[in-house]
């Protein structure tokens, strides 16, 4: 039973979170050279349907 719930949570998180590796696309340089340790980072984003819901509300109010 716990494994099923854990799998459902994993699927949910895969749908709403996005990880973006920053070291390749946005290097951090120190004195013109890449700072490898500082460049190794990840940006996390939460994907929501807030904008979609706002438009739904606006359309209902019109």
Does residue 50 fall inside a structural domain? yes
21 - beta bridge partners? 42
pLDDT in tens, the chain (62 residues): 455 566 777 887 778 888 778 777 788 899 999 888 888 888 888 878 888 888 888 898 88
Provide the residue range defining the domain that includes 23: 18-61
Does residue 32 fall inside a structural domain? yes
Does residue 7 fall inside a structural domain? no
Q: What is the pLDDT of residue 1?
A: 47
Please state, in angstroms and rounded to a whole number, the distance separating the CA atoms of residues 52 and 48: 9
Give the chain's domain count.
1
Does residue 2 fall inside a structural domain? no
Does residue 31 fall inside a structural domain? yes
Q: What is the pLDDT of residue 5?
A: 66
Structure token pair of residue 47: 């994907």
């Amino acid at each position: 039973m716990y494994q099923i719930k854990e799998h459902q949570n994993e699927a949910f998180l895969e749908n709403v979170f996005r990880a973006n590796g920053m070291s390749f696309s946005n290097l951090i340089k120190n004195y013109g050279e890449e700072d490898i340790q500082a460049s190794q980072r990840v940006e996390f984003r939460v994907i929501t349907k807030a904008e979609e819901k706002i438009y739904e509300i606006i359309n209902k109010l019109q």
